[in-house]
Structure 1
Amino acid sequence: MPTTQAAALDLQVYRKLNRRLLPFLACLYVIAYIDRVNIGFAKLTMAEQLGFSDSIYGLGAGIFFIGYFLFEIPSNLILHRVGAKIWIARIMIVWGLLAAAMVFVSTPMQFYILRFLLGVGEAGFFPGIILYLTYWYPAPRRAKATATFMASVALAGVIGSPLSGFIMTYLDGVSTLTGWQWLFLIEAVPAIILGIIVAFWLENGPEQARWLTSDERNWLNSQLTAESLNKEQTGHIICFSKALCNSKLWLLSFTYFSIVMGFYGISFWLPQIVNTLVHQNLMLTGLLSAIPYAIAAIGMVVVGHLSDKNNERRWHIVSSALAGCLGLLISAIYNDTLLLALFGLSLASLGILSALSIFWSLPTAFLSGTAAAGGLALINAFGNLAGYLSPVLVAWIKTQTGDFTSALYMLATWLIVAAAIVLIKFRTL
């Protein structure tokens, strides 16, 4: 095929993929993330009404990730076997029902149980999507695709923060339900609806994609096959049991854990930090909490594009993690000044989310097949234990010191650890 014709076909195929897959997958993750962290907004009134201390809240917020951890790897291996269409639909419908059930919480034990079950229900969703992208995008295009998908985390903050503030302000007391009950109910419904749509919209791979022409399918399959052959020749790990014996997998798991410590520290406690600065105004809290996410949504796609353009991962991850660290330090030092604290939290969100999106190009650089399915799930499961530890530690430090300053210093330290591991141990990826 002539070079100009091949370039035109290449551009045409990936434009179609970007239009068909990325907006829909991003929409799914927006809903997933909102349902996962809306507990941060619910706490603003839920804790007082139910008599929950910061420690109860921190444990309940974090115990989600214990269920997530236990069922992550089996879930992703099942997805690899039965296909994304059925399994992602199942995940979304189940977690939507469990998220709605939070309306009935009245005791700490009910809170813990439902948060644990929500983690079980959502297990496998994120690494499943990361794995699914490898079925469509070869490595040179994957960082930008992953960053675009993960920008939905930031978009969820942009949408979810004002929406949560609005629901809790204006629906409180409607039909005998409190604002936080309406919050859980309204934000759970889209997951159930989208779970049904997934079964009709997603294809398990390019071979079933009727929205591609035969020439486009053949072109895409040739690109993916060439990459697969190259992986075999360059010693990619195919078997999950062999991946478990590879030190890179465990180093990446700890690196991801370190970045996620900062990520969930912000995700769960950002509304509390902002709410303190604006003197308990729920609507204003929702609007201001959207600012760090809006900045991150734009910035992380730009960083992902630059990473793909330069075919460089290591320094992009390191610089992003250190930017996140600097942002946390600024927000800690100027925690009593709204504009400077918001600037710091915005920089932290941008850096952390950029590091997370590019990070996923590292494990797929040496894992394939069931090793990729199981390995991605293991990294995500182990890393997301930080989702349990981070809010619990932040709650404990805040209880001991009376504010968030020391907790933000602690989160910044973890980002330095992540940057150091990538800088020292992953010089060739």
Structure 2
Amino acid sequence: MDSSPSPTSPPPTGTSPAGGTSTGSTALRKAALRLIPFVAVMFFINYLDRTAISFAGPNGMNDDLALTAAQYGFAAGIFFVGYIILEIPSNLALHRFGARKWLARIMVTWGIVAVLFTWVQDATQLYWLRFLLGVTEAGFFPGAILFLTLWFPREYRRRALAGFYLAQPLTTVIGAPLAGFLMQSGHGVFGLEGWRFMFLCVGVPAIVLGVACWFYLTDKPEDAKWLTADERAWMRRELDAEADENEARGHVSARRILGEGRVWALAVAYFGLIYGLYSLAFFLPTIIGGFQERFGTTFSVFEKGLVTAVPYVPAAIALFLWSRHIYRNGFKSWHIALPTLAAGVSVPVALYMNSPFLTILVIAVTACGIFMALPNFWSLPAQFLTGAAAAAGIAFINTFGNIGGFSAPYITGWLTDLTGDEKLGLWLTGGLLVLSSVILLVLSRRSRAALTETPRTATV
């Protein structure tokens, strides 16, 4: 995982001092400007729809549907059951039919299901809709990751993934206040409670963007009419050279995925990261809702949304600056392990702060750690997986990790009901994040020769 060249190493043969040929730099810039913002907006809507329940729960839905903490956690988590079942088949279908068609299909179908939450009447219906949301959304995230790996060579991929991943913290920065505004101002519109109106408003954009995806995305560089012939040829050569290199140093076939130790190690490490991510996503609004009891503070629904967004502002900044630092100076194993460790240590600490300000400050450390690690994590599988193996491997790692997406809200809610507070559940979250950091360090020591890359300084 570590890279040894110094930042002052000369550029690779065939590149200009600025990094990359003029043709290559232009091609990458065009691809970055056209593809990354659009795919990031897709991810923004994706994450907003899957976490909308976290805003609705403490702001009327739990009371209206008479949900306990465990029932709410189960509803939040059952999404990942359907998601996990169809994750790998969906990603292989994307590899076969192309990202443009398959991502469009995913978005339109999940958007339809997301809108149906507007009329949910009880816990059973909520469970079924969350399950169906996972079924229809299956394959989107690893499909988007795979799509970017098909466009950006390894030396530029971290930055592309960072731009894509920036949508996730921004979903809460923008989405939490937006959800609060919709719930507060939309109460009574069409005769709906505020949380129902919010579900309606965040579901429709997925359908619209899915239709746009069909016409806007391009599956691979050789099909891009918006690139010149020389630019298309340059990108194809770079991607083919990377695939050849992977073959020479131990390419993993799709059939060997489940027998590959590196894939399993990354899957377990990702499980811890996702467990932490969704513990934070699904229970932060609930923790903030509990400030009134703990500290005597009172917030309106919109103000709760604003407070929920606060930790994600520094997280978005940290994600950008950290990925930029790695891109310029070369990747080391601690670039993932250290922020993951910081996130794990800070999770339970937040529960023992004596003011809302200090609690949010420590939660911000957790959010920064998780989001500094995640985009850089996803550049690792593509260093030894290509083609169908990349589709299957990325989907498997994401599938295994998302078992944490199911486990985190359910186990946290169950432990909260069992013990009367959320401390034990979040101690478990912290422990799993620490375990992930250890696994990543051990993996880097055993696989350094296989997972090494040399940084370039081209601008994307």
Question: What TM-score bracket applies, with the shorter chain setting the length?
Answer: over 0.9
Does 1:380 pair with 2:395? no
| 2:378 aligned partner, one-letter code | W
Question: Does residue 153 of structure 1 match 2:153?
Answer: no
1:180 aligns with 2:198: no
Displacement of 1:4: 6.1
Query: Normalised by the size of structure 1, how large is the TM-score?
Result: 0.97
What is residue 416 of structure 1 aligned with on the other side?
A: 434
Alignment of 1:238-277 (within 5 A): 239-277=253-291
Alignment correspondent of 2:336: 317
Residues 313 and 362 in structure 1, CA contact (< 8 A), matched pair in contact too: no
Q: What is the alpha-carbon distance in structure 2 between the residues aligned to residue 344 and residue 203 of structure 1? A: 42
Aligned to 1:67: 82
How big is the shift at 1:378?
0.7
**Are the counterparts in 2 of residues 62 and 390 from structure 1 also a CA contact under 8 Å?**
yes
What residue is the counterpart of 1:130 in the other structure? 145
Which of 14-23 and 73-82 deviates more?
A: 14-23
Give the counterpart letter for 2:431 in structure 1. Answer: T
Amino acid corresponding to residue 17 of structure 1 in structure 2: A
Task: Give the AA of the match of 1:341.
Answer: T
Deviation at 1:402, TM superposition (A): 2.6
Q: 1:104 corresponds to which residue?
A: 119
**TM-score, normalization by structure 2:** 0.90
From 304, 309, 314, the equivalent of 1:285 is 304
Q: Give the superposition deviation at 1:401.
A: 2.9
Judge conservation of contact 2:117–2:129 (CA < 8 Å) in 1: yes
Higher helix share: 1
Per-residue CA deviations over 1:92-130 (Å, capped at 9, x if unaligned) read: 000000000111211111111110000000000000011
Instruction: Out of 289-298 and 307-316, give the one that drifted further.
Output: 307-316
| CA–CA separation in structure 1 for the residues paired with 2:178 and 2:185 | 11
Structure 2 residue 51 is matched with structure 1 residue 37: yes
CA–CA distance in structure 2, aligned partners of residues 294 and 189 of structure 1: 26
Query: Which of the residues 347, 368, 378 maps onto 1:328?
Result: 347
Provide the C-alpha distance between the structure 2 equivalents of 1:221 and 1:203, rounded to a whole number of angstroms: 14
Give the structure 2 partner of residue 299 of structure 1: 318
Q: Tell me, yes or no, if the aligned pair for 1:292 and 1:345 is still in contact at 8 Å.
A: yes
- Tell me if 1:361 matches 2:376: no
Percent of pairs identical after alignment?
40
Distance apart, 1:313 and its partner CA: 4.3
Confirm or deny: 8 A CA contact 1:330 1:340 kept in the other structure: no
Counterpart amino acid of 1:71?
L
Q: Which has the higher contact order (CA 8 A, sep 6+)?
A: 2
**How far apart are residue 310 of structure 1 and its match?**
2.8
Per-residue deviation, 1:305: 2.0
Alpha-carbon RMSD: 1.5
Residue 84 of structure 1, aligned match among 94, 99, 106: 99
Structure 1 residues 42-86: Cα deviation after superposition (integer angstroms, max 9, x where no partner): 112111012111111110100000000000000000000000000
C-alpha distance in 2, partners of 1:280/1:287?
10
Listed as ranges, the gaps of 5+ residues in structure 1 are none
- Structure 1 residue 398: deviation in Å? 1.7
| CA apart distance, 1:308 | 2.5
Query: Measured at CA, do residues 313 and 35 of structure 1 come closer, stay the same or move farther in structure 2, by a change above 3 Å?
Result: farther
The equivalent of 2:5 in structure 1 is none
- Once the two structures are overlaid, the 10-residue window that deviates more, 400-409 or 354-363, is 400-409
Deviations 1:156-201 (A, max 9, x none): 0111100011111111122210111111100001100000000111
Match of 1:230 among 242, 245, 252: 245
8 Å contact 1:327–1:346 — kept in the other structure?
Answer: no
Deviations 1:311-359 (A, max 9, x none): 314111101101212331331221x411111111111111112211111
Q: Does 1:139 align with 2:154?
A: yes
Q: Aligned partners of 1:388, 1:79: CA distance in 2, in Å?
A: 24
Please state how far the C-alpha of 1:280 moved relative to its aligned partner: 5.1
Output the amino acid matched with 1:229. D
Q: Which residue does 1:218 correspond to in 2? A: 233
Query: Which has the larger displacement, 295-304 or 400-409?
Result: 400-409
Any conservation in 1 of the 2:345–2:434 contact (CA below 8 Å)?
no
**Cα shift at 1:424:** 1.2
Q: 1:100 to 1:56 in 2, by over 3 A?
A: same
Aligned residues: 427
Q: Which sits farther off after the overlay, 72-81 or 360-369?
A: 360-369
Structure 1 residue aligned with 2:183: 168
Change (3 A) 1:87 1:347: same
| Paired residues of 1:43 and 1:57 also in contact (CA < 8 A) | yes
Q: Which runs of 5+ in 2 are unaligned?
A: 1-13, 292-296, 452-460
Q: CA deviation at 1:309?
A: 2.4
Q: State the 1:405 CA deviation.
A: 2.6
Deviates more, 1:340-349 or 1:58-67: 340-349
